[in-house]
Homo-oligomer: A and B are copies of this chain.
Amino acid sequence: MVLARSPDPDVPRAIIAAATRLFAAQGFDATSLQAVADEVSLTKQAVLHHFPSKEHLRQAVLGAILAHWNDTLPRLLLAAAASEDRFEAVFGELSGFFAADPDRARVVLREALDRPAEMRKLLRGPVRPWLEAVAGYIRSGQAAGKHHADVDPEAYVVQVMLFVISAVATASVMQGALDDDARARSDKELARIARASLFTPARPRGGALPTR
């Protein structure tokens, strides 16, 4: 009888998921390996078996988010190329990516505050192609007169990405801050700001025009 368990590939995954939740809620420094271990009912040493240091665990958490990004966004970009309304497709997928798991937004925003240099590397590296593609869409929209001529395409994309991340990350602050519907109003207004600052008044396709 062999009682030894076979290697369980879900254990590292569960550790990463727990660490993501805790890093998002409290930050990396404020989260102990013991707290991560408690979340998955393991000892601290068991966690250190899978990730030889806390730093390795941090890299794994960021890597999982980036992998998910690389998995989701390119597909969307291809769909957007065929879509009749690229803005709604791209903006919807961008905010959908972070809204699907707000912890992603919180981890990324904390990382930007704690380690700006590493965040800059992500922008210059893995995120760059996606950013350039969307900026390219805006440039062709400008050529067609669909988008404002004074939009700075790259800066616009980076800013809107930052807005979405910040809005999702701090969403709980809005919960009832203005009124009971404050979050829904804020989400809607964010989309409106992104849209209205991009499109020229005579927007060819209807649905989101001012009602007046």
Q: What residues make up the interface of A, taking CB atoms closer than 8 Å to B? A: 26-27, 29-30, 106, 109-110, 112-114, 116, 119-120, 123-124, 148-152, 154-156, 158-160, 162-163, 165-167, 169-170, 172-178, 182, 185-186, 188-190, 192-197, 201, 210-212
Contact = CB atoms under 8 A, between A and B. Distances in A.
Contacts of A173: 112, 116, 119-120, 123
SS class, residues of chain A in contact with chain B: helix
Contact of A29 (B29, B113, B149, B190): B29
Contacts of A114: 26-27
A112 B106 CA distance: 10
Contacts of A189: 151-152, 155-156, 159
A107 B170 CA distance: 14
Nearest to A120: B177
B185 A154 contact: yes
Given A155-B185, A189-B156, A211 B150 contact: yes
A154 B166 contact: no
Contacts of A166: 109, 162-163, 165-166
